[in-house]
Structure 1
């Protein structure tokens, strides 16, 4: 970390020196573009070059040539864009450079602090982060990065007077730059293989093109998804018993920190002691970020990825089939849904009492009353938790659940010891254990009703393993902590009897995914339809012979 700050200070000092000279000499537009390109490539891309150096074979001539090829590629793209902007208008060019400087400073901070890469997945996380969550990332270190790498360069860019240069001359300079740089890149074909092998890691660290390009990709994805949802085929119900099914969507919970899965710390004392709780083995998420995982959980045919045709999600489908559907959330990221009742944490807090109203416990506020008021025989409830969302794990549970100590109280996770960080995270899992036990008691209190809940986390979480924090790493290179998730089921005795469930069979399942949710809920309600896939229904597979 000290080394990073030293590099940062040297770059900033050099930046000031360059532009002080610029104030006195009034550079030409071409010189200004070249200067900005060099500074952008060096000042904001040092995390990329740091990654490259660590993954090359030492300081050999071949490694140096690879670095030069990477540098040339970044330089080519940056100078091409800047020349075009300044050919159009010097004011436009300066304005865009100011925006890039401010945005780059924030991007570099998050790449360095949390070791994330700014691919489309991470851009989706950023766009879907709530205001209340974004405030958790504020820190003195962030302010330092923003001032030194953002505000100061932006101010210097605005202060520098630039000589007017004819568009023809600028265009000629652009052509020469493109030819020279492209020639270097072309003759370096032997280094392309290394670049291709590390394309995801490199592409997500190139400033500003990582977040610019992936923002465009993300918006294109949204545009494809923003189409009318196709209605699924209607269903029939094989029975008319009063049945309540609750789907709890966890947040950032990873399986390896649950004692139900063999973790050596008692993070699940209540779940472990409960009857009819089944922890499903080897469960995985469809993605490493919320929006994609929630979409997958609620989809009948989309275990991962995006399709041009969008089908109605599980809550909307059940509601249209006559099931009463209640959605209660302390989170975000669900697709468009049509339900009987949608309540945010703000709505629920109005009638909440007790110490848990600022935490996930608010999701259980007057839940029993809402279920009992329904005149339908089938009720489906979704509880979308804030769960173990980082980086401020210490803020996700009431004080009385601070069982594991000492804890990390900083959003700059690398400043905490591994013990402090894991303790804070484990306390969120302990509180979740309490939450699910309270849900069980609520369901057990319903008269003449068979009930069950399914709990699955949207994705996992990295806690510093390999220097990686949080989540959102591209699935193909993500550590298993980000996609191995807790997935378990609780069933009331009447539910087990009516569905003829064998607990042992359910517990013996070797593999489960979020794709099982849709069809297992259909099975729980004894629904039959053309879209029902019995092979994905966990309850059907666990029936007694």
Structure 2
């Protein structure tokens, strides 16, 4: 990172000198558009250049031609947007340049700092991020990027006086630009194979079209969803025995750091000592919360794609007469209709103790609420904040800071790998405590058959390959973001009621988030047209 800050230290003076010369000369509109296009290429695309340097022999003739082809495409797209805007109005064109400068500064920061790819998936992640999470990213480095690459260029763009250029002349410049750039791109067809192979990585680093285009794509997909959810076929019940099932949706937990999955640190001491069942080779549907939660609560595997907007599991169970309780310290669920929806803020009013600021708040008076239900079947969802980054150190009480020293910066690449792993492992250790407390609550429900299922929405990257956090496109996402922990705990009465072979359940070869919906239906002895017994883990493990 040292070289980046050297560049930063020079940028303000260079930019000021550059724009003072432009301002004094009062450039024509055509010249200004040309300069803005070149400035966009040079000021905001060094992350792309860095990626190309790692994956392409850019010092060779073929490498240089390939890189020039990429820049020609960026130049062409930028020109195709800016020229028409300035043809319509100089003020409109300058306003858009100002917005792009500010947007590019923030986008460049996140690409450089966390090595994220600004594709449609990541834009969905951004649109669905709450303020309480986004404020965790605030740092001096972010402010520096915002000022140096955003506010200063924006201020200088505003101050620059532009001479009026005839619309005919601007259209002529646009035509020449299109012809020249298109000719270069067309005659460089032999270099497109490398570009095509790295399309996602390159596309996610092109400013501003990565976030502008993919934001539009995401919103377009959202608009295609049905406003009204399609109701699922009604169900019947094979029994009316008192049953409580809890679904715990974890956040950013990766199986790799759970000792139950072979991790060399004891991050699951309480779960290891209990009779929880660890499901092998569990995978997530997506790498970001909204798509993963949608998949977890769907009767079909959505795999993060906006498909038909079917009724979700909580809404479906509620409509079938089951008492549904949703408690959350997170966000990102699809619209749900349940009898009780409680946020961490609601629960905190009645919470006492050190865990009220953490996931432990979700267990506040849970026993009392379950016992107060007049229904024979109760379904509880606990949506955790879990191990969400970048401030892992803030996700657990002080007493769970067992692994030290820890990373206390949101600029994760400024921490050592050991500090980062330590902070993350402490969140897993706290989650172990949370799940054991839940087990004790369910175990204490007399004359009640009970079980809980725990699965994380997705995993997390902790600097492997230079990637941090999550949200990488599914097709190129590392295993750390896709392999998740998946646990099942059952009371003895639940095991007896369902005739479950614990050994069979332990021997499952693979599980996914798609198993949740049908396993919950099976746990409540439900029959319906949509019920798929092949996806019901309890049915598959039953002694027949």
Instruction: Report the TM-score when normalising by structure 1.
Output: 0.99
| Inter-partner Cα distance in structure 2 for 1:7 and 1:544 | 67
Partner of 1:38: 38
Bigger Cα displacement from structure 2, 218-227 vs 461-470: 218-227
Partner of 1:227: 227
Partner of 1:367: 366
Matches within 5 A, 1:200-279: 200-275=200-275, 277-279=276-278
Residues 234 and 529, structure 1, Cα contact 8 Å, conserved in 2: yes
Q: Deviations over 1:313-359 (max 9, x none)?
A: 00000000000000000000000000000000000101111110000
| Inter-partner Cα distance in structure 2 for 1:322 and 1:430 | 36
Residues 222 and 306, structure 2, Cα contact 8 Å, conserved in 1: no
Partner of 2:182: 182
Q: Deviations over 1:23-52 (max 9, x none)?
A: 211000000000000001110111011111
Alpha-carbon distance, 1:303 to partner:
3.9
Does 1:157 find its partner at 2:157?
yes
| Inter-partner Cα distance in structure 2 for 1:503 and 1:8 | 60
Extract unaligned runs of 5+ from structure 1.
none
Does 1:387 find its partner at 2:386?
yes
Extract unaligned runs of 5+ from structure 2.
none
| Inter-partner Cα distance in structure 2 for 1:226 and 1:161 | 48
Bigger Cα displacement from structure 2, 96-105 vs 12-21: 12-21
Partner of 2:412: 413
| Inter-partner Cα distance in structure 2 for 1:168 and 1:304 | 49
Alpha-carbon distance, 1:13 to partner:
3.9
| Inter-partner Cα distance in structure 2 for 1:72 and 1:226 | 40
- Where 1:452 maps in the other structure, the secondary structure is strand
| Inter-partner Cα distance in structure 2 for 1:44 and 1:457 | 35
Partner of 1:481: 480
Alpha-carbon distance, 1:125 to partner:
1.0
Matches within 5 A, 1:284-433: 284-433=283-432
Q: CA RMSD in A?
A: 0.9
| Inter-partner Cα distance in structure 1 for 2:226 and 2:335 | 9
| Inter-partner Cα distance in structure 2 for 1:268 and 1:416 | 25
- Where 2:542 maps in the other structure, the secondary structure is coil
- Where 1:293 maps in the other structure, the secondary structure is helix
Q: Which runs of 4+ in 1 moved over 6 A?
A: none
Alpha-carbon distance, 1:58 to partner:
4.7
Q: Deviations over 1:214-241 (max 9, x none)?
A: 0001101111124211111110000111
Does 1:54 find its partner at 2:54?
yes
Q: Deviations over 1:254-295 (max 9, x none)?
A: 0010011111111000000012x1000000000000000000
Partner of 1:281: 280
Residues 15 and 39, structure 1, Cα contact 8 Å, conserved in 2: no
| Inter-partner Cα distance in structure 1 for 2:442 and 2:398 | 26
- Where 1:353 maps in the other structure, the secondary structure is coil
| Inter-partner Cα distance in structure 1 for 2:336 and 2:34 | 50
| Inter-partner Cα distance in structure 2 for 1:335 and 1:401 | 32
Q: Deviations over 1:516-538 (max 9, x none)?
A: 00000000000000100000000
Does 1:137 find its partner at 2:132?
no
Residues 11 and 43, structure 1, Cα contact 8 Å, conserved in 2: no
- Where 2:345 maps in the other structure, the secondary structure is helix
- Where 2:309 maps in the other structure, the secondary structure is coil
Alpha-carbon distance, 1:116 to partner:
0.5
Partner of 1:518: 517
Residues 303 and 514, structure 1, Cα contact 8 Å, conserved in 2: no
| Inter-partner Cα distance in structure 2 for 1:296 and 1:374 | 28
- Where 1:476 maps in the other structure, the secondary structure is helix
Q: Deviations over 1:382-408 (max 9, x none)?
A: 000000000000000000100111100
| Inter-partner Cα distance in structure 1 for 2:176 and 2:415 | 50
| Inter-partner Cα distance in structure 1 for 2:133 and 2:510 | 33
Residues 289 and 457, structure 2, Cα contact 8 Å, conserved in 1: yes
| Inter-partner Cα distance in structure 1 for 2:287 and 2:323 | 30
| Inter-partner Cα distance in structure 1 for 2:307 and 2:111 | 32
- Where 2:59 maps in the other structure, the secondary structure is coil
Alpha-carbon distance, 1:10 to partner:
4.3
| Inter-partner Cα distance in structure 2 for 1:156 and 1:58 | 33
| Inter-partner Cα distance in structure 2 for 1:39 and 1:9 | 18
Partner of 1:23: 23
| Inter-partner Cα distance in structure 2 for 1:422 and 1:124 | 27
Instruction: Report the TM-score when normalising by structure 2.
Output: 0.99
| Inter-partner Cα distance in structure 2 for 1:426 and 1:384 | 19
Residues 249 and 383, structure 2, Cα contact 8 Å, conserved in 1: yes
